[in-house]
Structure 1
Amino acid sequence: MPTPLHDPAHETNVLHSWQRNAQAWTNSVRDGQIESRRLVTDRAIVQAVIDGQPHSVLDLGCGEGWLVRALAAEGLHAIGVDAVPELIEHARRAGGEFHVASYEDISAGRLSLRADTLVCNFALLGEASVAQLMTSLPHLLEPGGRLVVQTVHPLIACGEQAYADGWRQEEWSGFGAAFVAPAPWYFRTLASWLSLFANTGWKLGEVREPLHPLTGKPASIIFIAQR
């Protein structure tokens, strides 16, 4: 079952887990070990970004930097930001512009970058921290810009658990033995996602549900919003 709501320890443990799993995650992404990413979701987020014909992109929670490099290959100027220094080191070694900054840094106005498209690709994992971040994002966004968010599809990610908001734990099953620390993440129902956008001042313009080619079920959900 989901663990209790509003547990501040989970917000801290999200970052701690990703710090411990930075090398394993980098290997997993670069070796194409995650089927849904390989078959569907990687291309889906790239397409969602380029469909808006952006001039500049800021990837928040960029991990080891694959999306920045993929967008650069499409001729776009993209910059990546992540709170985990080791992930940023991996990203820089592969090429591109990357900065270390946490969501708390961004919320406090300590990131002096701007773009006409902000992307969060499977990177909104917390509860209160995510709401705070989304409230503060406009200072990074050029006038008329867009926010593109890809996340797990609530109806699929719910699994056999109750369809209710709450903290859950990623055990990395199927990701390989190299992942050493379970990762907490905050599950939101579809209604809660819609409320989150509305309550933090965003107007949804489009919702996409990329389908897995083998199962025919949604592999993710993509929200495209503006202020």
Structure 2
Amino acid sequence: MDEREQAILEAWHANAAPWTRAVREQAIASRRLATDRAILDAVLAHRPRRVIDLGCGEGWLVRGLAEQGVDVLGIDAVPALVEAARAAGGGRFLEMDYADVANGALRERADVVACNFSLFGGESVDALLRTVPSLLTPGGVLVVQTLHPFVACGDDAYADGWRAGSWVGCGEGFGQAAPWYFRTLAGWLDALTQAGLQLRRMVEPLHPPTGKPASVILMAEARR
């Protein structure tokens, strides 16, 4: 595994407790004001009976969807996050990393596969996306919410590539941040295309006080 991909996993293992606290105390303003509601609405708009949440973290999205009567399976590679999710309930949870999913270990299918701010790697994400069509029921949809490239780019060049991570805005108690692979909008579309997926719709949730994009949501289906 690429050392940067490994560093992502190590950072999440080390910061599982402060992340769980930040999410459950709604410490992250953009999530509280815009993006949590946006991903719930985007998934529910497809009226799914079953959802797979890849990179479910401490399980908030699983719980939110379960409250609407959806059968949800949450997948995460970090044991402490899976334990926190199971303790809170609301759905089924499996400890599994993206490499295992990409290698076919997940024997499940769903109407929606959701990835909510959980696709930070390079090659690992490309491999995971290639597996998504096999996880979808006929007519199923992949729903990805991620950092908006125009905003997340900052002063750096607008080009795909690895960037240093940060926990700024997430609250206290965090240690070393994970690196992440920045993708332009074209980079995301290329990744979807290479995975056998076709963009159906794109949504740009706005941050209320600034009016700038808080994220981007990509909805794609398997190419027929």
TM bracket, shorter-chain basis: over 0.9
> In the alignment, which residue of structure 1 is the partner of 2:192?
197
Structure 1 residue 112, shift from structure 2 partner: 1.6
Structure 1 residue 74, shift from structure 2 partner: 1.4
- SS of structure 2 residue aligned to 1:64: coil
> In the alignment, which residue of structure 1 is the partner of 2:25?
31
- SS of structure 2 residue aligned to 1:78: strand
Give the 4+ runs in structure 1 shifted more than 3 A: none
- SS of structure 1 residue aligned to 2:162: strand
1:201 partner amino acid: G
Pairwise CA RMSD: 1.1
Aligned length: 221
**Do residues 21 (structure 1) and 15 (structure 2) align?**
yes
> In the alignment, which residue of structure 1 is the partner of 2:38?
44
1:200 partner amino acid: A
Structure 1 residue 21, shift from structure 2 partner: 0.3
Mapping of residues 140-151 of structure 1, within 5 Å: 140-151=135-146
**Do residues 122 (structure 1) and 128 (structure 2) align?**
no
Q: Quote the Cα distance in structure 2 between the aligned partners of 1:121 and 1:137.
A: 15
Structure 1 residue 80, shift from structure 2 partner: 0.4
Q: Quote the Cα distance in structure 2 between the aligned partners of 1:175 and 1:203.
A: 33
**Do residues 62 (structure 1) and 56 (structure 2) align?**
yes
1:93 partner amino acid: A
1:112 partner amino acid: R
Structure 2, unpaired ranges of 5+: none
Task: Return the TM-score normalized by structure 2.
Answer: 0.96
- SS of structure 2 residue aligned to 1:183: coil
Structure 1 residue 194, shift from structure 2 partner: 1.0
Q: Quote the Cα distance in structure 1 between the aligned partners of 2:103 and 2:65.
A: 27
Structure 1 residue 17, shift from structure 2 partner: 0.4
Contact 2:111–2:139, Cα closer than 8 Å, also in 1: yes
Mapping of residues 1-227 of structure 1, within 5 Å: 8-95=2-89, 96-227=91-222
Identity %: 53
Structure 1 residue 175, shift from structure 2 partner: 2.2
Contact 2:28–2:171, Cα closer than 8 Å, also in 1: no
Structure 1, unpaired ranges of 5+: 1-6
- SS of structure 2 residue aligned to 1:149: strand
